Amino acid sequence: MRLGDPVDRIHEGTVYRPPSEATSLILQATIGCSHRTCTFCVSYIDRDFRIKSLDEMERDVRAVLPHYRGATRIFLADGDALAIPAPQLLDLLGMLRKNFPRLERASIYGSPGNIRKKTVAELRALKEAGLGIIYIGLESGSDAILRAVKKGALSKDMIAAAKKVKEAGIPLSVIWILGLGGRERTEEHARETARVLNAMDPEYAGALTLMVVEPAPICKEVEEGRLTLLDPKESLQELRRVVEKLELSNCIFRVNHASNYANIRGTLPQDKQKILAQIDEALGRSDYRPEWMRGL
């Protein structure tokens, strides 16, 4: 999508999407985030959460259809569009399939809480209607860190949500945040994140790197010295500790978000040594992505 095109005119506020949705048509099925208390996040603090009606979505589709009729992938924003009740979401997916004849999949962010509210049967119906992947923000496998950042879910909730999504047959992508425990909890963060990722066993996994942006509440923790940010090498060392402990069955692994200091990629388990070698190579360099180029 290009700046100034019809999609920009129907978006409310800044729109965020996973790196793998870079070429997808992005439609806002919800505005904002249904949780909005995470201490590290500023993405949706400027808007109240609401679910768009099907009529609103039909107007949005009509606005972009002349330009994007051939879209093969659609990402349903904002922060947790899986908060939409299953019947309404099924109607929305049906409307998208009707209007975009080449559509291969729709994708969505889903919190553990909103996954819990849907039955396996409902999730299976969503899959049949075209929901092709759910992105879950794990952030950390450490319950202490999850409580500290007010994620609203613990590691057992993350694991239960993953099992439910997998039982429904929907591919799962799990994202965590390097450095979220600071220097104080980096060992715990890496160890527990690897433990939970292994239990979730997603088809896709990736990491962002913590960015402290005003007015996120986590800024105060940094200012008061309660959280010490990792430098680029420490961040990569933390990543290495996670990868060393990963035992995933078949996972496309990417560390390629704009917030990351280096790009790392491979498929687990077969590329584990190659991924570790990429991290080691990055650790031996000094030309990390500069701070001014990092972004949310």
Residuewise pLDDT in 10s, the chain (296 residues):
444 566 777 888 888 899 899 999 999 999 999 888 999 998 888 889 999 999 999 999 999 999 999 999 999 999 889 999 999 999 999 999 999 999 999 999 999 999 999 999 999 999 999 999 999 999 999 999 999 999 999 999 999 999 999 999 999 999 999 999 999 999 999 999 999 999 999 999 999 999 999 999 999 999 999 999 999 999 999 999 999 999 999 999 999 999 999 999 999 999 999 999 999 999 999 888 888 788 87
Crossing angle of the two packed helices 155-167 and 186-200, in degrees rounded to 10: 20
Q: How far apart are CA 237 and CA 244, in angstroms?
A: 11
Strand partners, 80: none
Structure tokens at 127: 């899959």
pTM of the model: 0.94
Largest CA distance in the chain: 54
Report the b/e string of 106-121 with b at 16+ CB within 10 A. Answer: bbbbbbbbbbeebeee
Show the DSSP H helices in the chain as ranges.
6-10, 54-68, 86-99, 112-116, 120-128, 143-148, 155-167, 186-200, 218-223, 232-245, 272-283
Per CATH, the number for 9-291 is 3.20.20.70
Structure tokens at 144: 């202490």
Q: Decide if 195 contacts 245 (C-beta within 8 A).
A: yes
Please, what sign has the CA dihedral across residues 88, 94, 98, 104?
positive
User: In the sheet that 73-77 helps form, which strands lie side by side, from edge to edge?
Assistant: 25-28, 73-77, 105-109, 131-139, 172-178, 204-209, 251-255, 264-268
The pLDDT value recorded for residue 7 is 74
DSSP annotation of 117:
T
Q: How far is CA 135 from CA 72, 107, 112, 131, 210, in A?
A: 18, 8, 10, 11, 18
Q: Percent helix, strand and coil across the chain, each rounded to 5?
A: 45, 15, 40
Domain ranges of the chain: 9-291
Q: Decide if 241 contacts 188 (C-beta within 8 A).
A: no
| Amino acid present at 88 | Q
Q: Decide if 9 contacts 63 (C-beta within 8 A).
A: yes
Structure tokens at 249: 């069955």
The pLDDT value recorded for residue 284 is 94
Q: How far is CA 156 from CA 15, 196, 226, in A?
A: 30, 8, 26
Crossing angle of the two packed helices 86-99 and 54-68, in degrees rounded to 10: 20
Q: How far apart are CA 183 and CA 235, in angstroms?
A: 9
